[in-house]
Amino acid sequence: MAEKRYVRAVNEALCEEMERDPAVCLLGVDVGAPGGPFGATRGLQERFGPQRVRDTPISEAAVVGLAIGAATLGLRPVVEIMFMDFLALVMDQLVNQAAKMRYMTGGQAKLPLVVRTQTGYRDSAGPQHAQSLEAWLTHVPGLKVVMPSGPCEAKGLLKAAIRDDNPVIVVENRTLYALAEEVPDGDYVLPLERAAIKREGRDVTIASLGVMVREALAAAETLAERGISCEVIDLRSANPLDLQTVRASLEKTNRLVIAHSATRCGGVGAELAAALGEEAFYMLDAPITRVGAAFAPIPFSPPLERAIVPDRTAIIAAVEQVLAP
């Protein structure tokens, strides 16, 4: 075990899985010789050769399509889509093709395919480079979607994704790439479909996703100083959503705040709130409250961006609101 940065944890996961299984191979714009736009694939082409680590043209839809065909024949391709916004270019291949392939062929196809992508904000990446679009994928039967909230998850979830025999989308966060923490060496694999309790608490449950887990933990820290005890859940998976873990926490706290980076309206929090609002109706002492981005594109200029995207302050306000008498 050693301190590793998030991006290094991704790199390690890829490297180890490629060592372990010759069927694992990488595809994407600049993933090869350049080592990836953020360095996630650094050194891998040197190590595994240009056939297994392939730079592609700017042809995202075809590249996901290639991965589908290759996965059908037993490869385990890992595609990098540089920014999550560009998922919009590959939705047909992801949704109409990959997600339905097994079902539509009556079980003939098995599709061990990973799409890695990343999102992030507060770095003025602007309207076309900062979206969190996982809610689209939550609506799609046949996909799995995870959002690693830190270096451990980055490694453990990616390894699990590569070993899974279904299409899995892994949404990393570029603003966390430089974050370091202790990450287990070697075979460290986390379950894809399970949420994790990151901090135990009694008064309010905060269910959070991706980078917002960090904000939720910071909010919980501040709130603890005010005598409020928050249970922070890292949902980890956006498809499927681990309702059970959140429900179990609600049994204790009876209050729920949901926090994600994506636009609040129509985000993953909507499904979570709707599902638990139904299932756990009689458990709730206050309305389920959601924190997410305001209903606007994400602007470039820092003060505007800050006005649109959520942070720990918004979580604190939401917690206080659900606790208000």
What torsion, rounded to 10 degrees, do the Cα atoms 10, 11, 14, 20 define?
-120
Burial 248-273 (b: 16+ CB within 10 A, else e): ebbeebbbbbbbbbbbbeebbbbbbb
Q: Which of 60, 80, 172, 271 is catalytic?
A: 60
What residues pair up with 199 in beta bridges, in sequence order? 232
Give the pairing of strands 113-119 and 53-55.
Answer: unpaired
State yes or no: residue 307 binds a second copy (CB under 8 A): no
| Catalytically annotated residue among 12, 16, 17, 129 | 129
Q: Is 139 in the site for a second copy (CB under 8 A)?
A: yes
What are the structure tokens assigned to 46, written together? 């040197």
- Secondary structure of residue 113 in the 3-state scheme: strand
> At closest approach, how far in Å is the CB of 167 from another protein?
9
37-96: which residues touch another protein (CB under 8 A)? 37, 51-52, 54-59, 61-75, 77, 85-86, 89, 92-93, 96
Minimum distance from residue 26 beta carbon to another protein (Å): 12
Q: Which residues bind ligand TPP (CB under 6 A)?
A: 29, 58, 60, 82, 86, 89
CB 126 within 8 A of CB 299: yes
Stated as kind and residue range, the H or E segment containing 24 is: strand 24-28
Supply the minimum distance, in Å, between the C-beta of residue 5 and ligand TPP: 22
Taking every pair of Cα atoms in the chain, the longest distance, rounded to a whole number of angstroms, is 62
Chain position carrying tokens 């606790």: 323
CB under 8 A: which stretch of 4-12, 21-29, 150-158, 270-278 binds a second copy? Answer: 270-278
Closest to ligand TPP by CB, 129 or 290: 129
Is 260 in the active site? no
Cβ proximity to ligand TPP, 90 vs 293, nearer residue: 90
Map tokens 């075990």 to a residue: 1
Rounded to whole angstroms, the Cα distance separating 38 from 118 reads 10
- Torsion of the alpha carbons at 95, 193, 258 and 148, rounded to the nearest 10: -80
Give the integer Cα–Cα distance in Å for 146 and 168: 8
Of 43, 277, 287, 297, which lies in the binding site for another protein, with binding defined by CB under 8 A? 297
> What count of residues does the chain have?
325
d(CA 137, CA 238) in angstroms, rounded, equals 8
Decide if residue 126 touches another protein (CB under 8 A): yes
136 binds, among a second copy, another protein, ligand TPP, none (CB under 5 to 8 A by kind): a second copy
Catalytic residue flag (residue 129): yes
Site string for a second copy, 141-180 (x = CB under 8 A): xx--------------------------------------
Q: How far apart are CA 35 and CA 42, in angstroms?
A: 4
The nearest distance, CB 269 to another protein, in angstroms, is: 19
Among 7, 10, 18, 25, binds another protein (CB under 8 A): 25
User: Applying CB under 8 A, which residues contact a second copy?
Assistant: 85-89, 91-92, 94-96, 99-100, 103-104, 126-128, 133, 135-136, 138-142, 239, 262-263, 265-275, 277-279, 281, 284, 286-290, 295-297, 299
Query: Would you please indicate which residues are annotated as catalytic (active-site) residues?
Result: 60, 129
